[in-house]
Structure 1
Amino acid sequence: MTQTLWPRQLREGLAEMQLSLSERQQQRLLTFLALLNKWNRAYNLTAVRDEGEMVSRQLLDSLSILPWVTTEHLLDVGAGGGLPGIPLAIVLPEQRFTLLDSNGKKTRFLHQCVLELGLKNVDVIHGRAEDCKPEQPFSQISSRAFSSLDTMVSWCDTLLANKGSFLAMKGQYPDDEVAALPAGWQVSSSHSLNVPGAGGERHLLVVARTEQSQ
């Protein structure tokens, strides 16, 4: 059974990424992955169906942006199956994570994950990004397979603090999306991500307002 390979795949992947996690954190990540795999059969939470690719494309891919998560409270928009929000919350227990998605089935899954994993640092919101009204804006907003960059900044503009930034996870570098960013927005930095076992390119784009628009 492929799932029996998950612990070794995770250990080896973390070692290659030079990430040191406790046994409890690793077990929580694997428990989350098992939940995702189980619920995915009915809820279509992720396109990844091959159990042999799940550690790499779900867990390690989510954790690849760890060096750029610097805020005390991160919003994950279009959280879907909890990627990257749930793995990040497991690894960063002292930081808060709010997971936002408009799909009721997906937010029900996220609530179940929070319950079963005992994640005290995660809040789940069922709703559309453009309708969300937080008490205060977020300094960082992550997204993975959520939307094009121009749509993201349009829908989530009011959710981002004045000097905040989006952490947009992409595959190949999206030249067309970058070119289509509206006035007042820029890619402040881009980073090629190392995801052990994952084929193809992975990039993180840090998107922020231009100084003139702040």
Structure 2
Amino acid sequence: MTEQHDRAPSPPDEAGRVFASDRLPLAIAYADLLATEGVVRGLIGPREAPRLWDRHLLNCAVLGDVVPQEASVCDIGSGAGLPGLVLAIARPDLRVTLVEPLLRRTTFLEEVVTALSLPHVDVVRGRADALHGERTFDVVTSRAVAPLERLLQWSMPLVSPDGALVAMKGSNVADEIDAARPVLSEWRCAEPEVLTLGDGVLVHSTHALRVAWADPAQVGWPLAPAKRSSRRRRSR
């Protein structure tokens, strides 16, 4: 990475409640990389740098409260690593895969993983649907990627039978659920659960949406392998 002299703001007191003492220095180093290289490369807006901790790092770290121990996690549309890299920093027990199609972003992610020595993190350049039928995860997460009806189609094929989509969402999450009712039914999903995160830690609590399979014994998704194969043949 190129040398930069700007740094992120000092971590607030709440950071010590979210990150263990041995993980906080990694979070500080990541914040500095976001405030410098992240801004230079257009991954984080310049106005975001002063509020990295409250708006981004702490906001993402509390997602770890609803991720099971030693889970495999896939962060689709990872961008600058939010929330996937933050989860990996806060939770070394997790196995985290960051999926991002843009080269300049995956280059940054790979450099951060190397700089912070995060051996439990894998960076995959590509779209989420490139992994459909190839891999599944205990948790598939995302932040500000797409409305729920589209997010389900990208995420649910990656969710293991006993896993769940756990996406960070804004205050309009109830409206997204209503709009996605037909897709939830098509994908045989259980009733979505809205989770409130960060009470007592964040100035403003945040929301996550958890969607599991209605029946883990009968997981099925519309994009069947036979259909995928036939499409590949037609495209050649």
Quick one: structure 1 residues 145 and 20, their matched pair in 2 at CA, closer, same or farther if it must change by over 3 Å?
A: closer
Structure 1 stretch 178-187 or stretch 148-157: which is displaced more? 178-187
Quick one: structure 1 residues 4 and 210, their matched pair in 2 at CA, closer, same or farther if it must change by over 3 Å?
A: closer
Quick one: structure 1 residues 150 and 13, their matched pair in 2 at CA, closer, same or farther if it must change by over 3 Å?
A: same
For 1:204, which of 208, 221, 225 is the aligned residue? 208
Write the distance in 1 (CA, Å) between the matches of 2:197 and 2:18.
14
Cα deviation, residue 33, structure 1: 1.0
Is residue 2:67 matched to residue 1:66?
no
Write the distance in 2 (CA, Å) between the matches of 1:64 and 1:147.
21
Write the distance in 2 (CA, Å) between the matches of 1:85 and 1:75.
8
Cα deviation, residue 38, structure 1: 1.4
- Normalised by the length of structure 2, the TM-score is 0.78
Structure 2, gaps ≥5 residues long: 220-236
User: Within 5 A, what are the aligned runs for 1:114-153?
Assistant: 114-133=113-132, 135-153=134-152
- Normalised by the length of structure 1, the TM-score is 0.85
User: Within 5 A, what are the aligned runs for 1:83-102?
Assistant: 83-102=82-101
Cα deviation, residue 94, structure 1: 2.3
Higher share of residues assigned strand: 1
Count of aligned residue pairs for this structure pair: 207
8 Å contact from structure 1 (residues 13, 56) kept in 2: no
SS of alignment partner, residue 191 of structure 1: strand
Is residue 2:39 matched to residue 1:38?
no
8 Å contact from structure 1 (residues 59, 87) kept in 2: yes
Write the distance in 1 (CA, Å) between the matches of 2:34 and 2:102.
15
SS of alignment partner, residue 113 of structure 1: helix
Quick one: structure 1 residues 205 and 133, their matched pair in 2 at CA, closer, same or farther if it must change by over 3 Å?
A: closer
1:14 matched to which residue of 2? 15
- Cα displacement string for residues 55-74 of structure 1 (whole angstroms, at most 9, x for unaligned residues): 11121011111111115211
8 Å contact from structure 1 (residues 178, 187) kept in 2: no
8 Å contact from structure 1 (residues 2, 51) kept in 2: no
Write the distance in 1 (CA, Å) between the matches of 2:175 and 2:46.
25
Quick one: structure 1 residues 84 and 68, their matched pair in 2 at CA, closer, same or farther if it must change by over 3 Å?
A: same
Quick one: structure 1 residues 34 and 134, their matched pair in 2 at CA, closer, same or farther if it must change by over 3 Å?
A: farther
SS of alignment partner, residue 194 of structure 2: strand
Identity percentage of aligned residues: 28
Write the distance in 2 (CA, Å) between the matches of 1:116 and 1:61.
23
- Cα displacement string for residues 93-138 of structure 1 (whole angstroms, at most 9, x for unaligned residues): 1221000011111111100001111111100000011112575411
- Cα displacement string for residues 164-206 of structure 1 (whole angstroms, at most 9, x for unaligned residues): 211110121422210122112344321122275655x621110
Write the distance in 1 (CA, Å) between the matches of 2:76 and 2:136.
13
Quick one: structure 1 residues 34 and 153, their matched pair in 2 at CA, closer, same or farther if it must change by over 3 Å?
A: same
Write the distance in 2 (CA, Å) between the matches of 1:155 and 1:87.
22
Moved over 4 A (4+): 1-5, 195-199
RMSD: 2.5
1:174 matched to which residue of 2? 173
Larger radius of gyration: 2
8 Å contact from structure 2 (residues 191, 214) kept in 1: no
Quick one: structure 1 residues 157 and 189, their matched pair in 2 at CA, closer, same or farther if it must change by over 3 Å?
A: closer
Quick one: structure 1 residues 45 and 198, their matched pair in 2 at CA, closer, same or farther if it must change by over 3 Å?
A: farther
Write the distance in 2 (CA, Å) between the matches of 1:208 and 1:197.
26
1:194 matched to which residue of 2? 198
